[in-house]
Amino acid sequence: MKFDAVFRSRRSNVMATRGMVATSQPLAAQAGLEILKAGGNAADAAVATAAMLNVVEPISTGIGGDCFALFWDARTKQVTALNGSGRAPAAASIEALRSLGYTKMPTFTGHAVSVPGTVAGWSDLLERHGTMSLADVLQPAIWTAEHGYPVSEIIATGWRSQVPKLLRSPDWESGDLDNGPEQPSGHELLIDGRAPRPGEIMRIPTLAETLRGIAAEGKDYIYRGEFAHKLSAHVQKYGGWITSEDMAAHESTWDEPIHADYRGVTLYECPPNGQGLAAIIAANLAAGFDLAAMEEVDRLHILIECMRLGFADAQRWVCDPRVVPIPLEELVSPAYAERRRQEIDLRRAAQHVPYGDPLAGSDTVYLSVVDGEGNACSFINSLYMGTGTGLVVPGTGVSLQNRAALFQLDPEHPNALAPHKRPYQTIIPALTTRGGELHACLGVMGGFMQPQGHLQMLVNLVDLGMWPQRALDVPRWQLAGPSGGLGAQESGGLVAMEEGWSFATLAELARRGHRLVPVDGFGRTGFGGGQIILRDPETGVLIGGSDPRKDGCAVGW
């Protein structure tokens, strides 16, 4: 598979007035559009799209994962934040893991599975903001899982990388102890033990049955019935702690979003335990520079340094604030940004970036929906590292996430593993307003790329005046590191540069001390998959773009 050298998609912006859906797979985008045409609103279409993505991109998202959403209510002019992430089980224990020899959280065992929050999130979003039933919006996904669909190109390529994990192959180097059964159930997401090829019809009948159960019984089907017992038993076979009682205790929460004011535009993010805090801090820092007037290399240097500071703070402070209080109001304040901004050297890359003291003075799917009334839903759903743990609940077609792998085993760290606690979450939706009206519904999925993508899209849209498709097409940069996990963005780390930047720009960044790593080919999908829908408040015209690094599209009505 060969990609355009600089991701110039030559794709026009999609325009419509009665509704629009943008996401990483065309069949999923169309499922959401069908719901809009049937009279549903942005919340209804978002859940339909998310459910369809579970079917057509099951290596990234699904029932066994978590979700977050930002919803713009066109009537009240308010943004609400849904936290659909799960918690560690009651028996979770740092001491137990250390006794097994672990010095950091395991990644692919049952210990890495926190209670999946997706289905409760779907249900609760509809209950508060939707107009249709969960049963209604799940119908496109149910039909597609049963009858099949041709697998799209980039998803098929990613699917191949998940086969050893799903099959627990003997030559699979997980780095974890693996005490599960000899015949894992990952074959439910494969064809004769292999990944489906591009264009090959894929059916997932067990997932169709699970979705039917949810349609018939609602979220209780997942959290209080036979499924909860099956999930718990499977996780425990692989060393984990989840019980049916943990499943029954799960609930979503509604939070006050955090925000940054950026040149007349307000950027909204979900608060911790999500890493949207990193984007807010970076945007507050960037607001103090005239980026539009700068040369490209100066602008890039400043943004990279702002992001380093944002991540340094996020990796110190992001945790479950209902368990460990954090100084959130101070962290997102312009006054704190002003102090931290003084640490940026305009000519040299920082080699050491400690987190600040505010009290001192792997794969994911993202979707954007805006309906004809101007309501918007920025929605993200994920299993984390591809298929998560790769553990598939037998007979259900449901992969289980590995979000608990983001906990720390240092009991003094705010994000330390503890019972009933939510871990640091990488998945974050974004939404912007201007003058009290919806401006954009946007997101850039992809692990630790997400706040970096949000910052780059904000600058592209606001400072550089780009329309959505162009904002998504241009090359990106990403703070990265050899581990690829939490801490990959630590101070003085590597900066991955997507092919397409000029040699002169790269040379000058290197001269300033940035440790650059060029990335081309399929590796460029690691720069995230973004979706953007802008809305003109005067005419109601919707302008949408979809990332060429993914298989998807924006579709309008």
What percentage of the chain exceeds 70 in pLDDT? Answer: 93
pTM of the model: 0.94
Q: What is the pLDDT of residues 138-148, one digit of tens each?
A: 999 999 999 99
Tell me the β-bridge partners of 261: 266
Q: What is the pLDDT of residues 230-247, one digit of tens each?
A: 999 999 999 999 999 999
CA distance 470 to 10: 9
Q: What is the pLDDT of residues 119-144, one digit of tens each?
A: 999 999 999 999 999 999 999 999 99
Closest CA to 456 of 279, 284, 289: 279
Q: What is the pLDDT of residues 152-200, one digit of tens each?
A: 999 999 999 999 999 998 777 666 655 555 567 899 999 999 999 999 9
State the amino acid at position 181 in one-letter form. P
Looking at the predicted structure, is the pLDDT value of residue 490 above 50? no
Q: What is the pLDDT of residues 319-340, one digit of tens each?
A: 999 999 999 999 999 999 999 9
Closest CA to 400 of 213, 273, 240: 240
The residue with tokens 């939510």 is 422
Question: Who wins on pLDDT, 228 or 487?
Answer: 228
**Per-residue confidence (pLDDT) for residue 521, from 0 to 100:** 81
Phi, psi of 494, deg, nearest 5: -75, 155
**Per-residue confidence (pLDDT) for residue 362, from 0 to 100:** 59
Structure tokens at 488: 């990959």
Tell me the β-bridge partners of 515: 494
CA distance 166 to 453: 29
**Per-residue confidence (pLDDT) for residue 9, from 0 to 100:** 62
Query: What is the Cβ-side half-sphere exposure of residue 359, based on CA atoms within 13 angstroms?
Result: 4
Buried b (16+ CB within 10 A) or exposed e, 365-384: bbbbbbbbebbbbbbbbbbb
Domain ranges of the chain: 1-557
CA distance 221 to 329: 38
Q: Mean pLDDT throughout 308-317?
A: 94
Q: What is the pLDDT of residues 45-78, one digit of tens each?
A: 999 999 999 999 999 999 999 999 999 999 999 9
Residue 89 has what DSSP assignment?
-
Looking at the predicted structure, is the pLDDT value of residue 3 above 50? no
Tell me which residues are annotated as active site: 364
Closest CA to 26 of 527, 466, 457, 531: 531
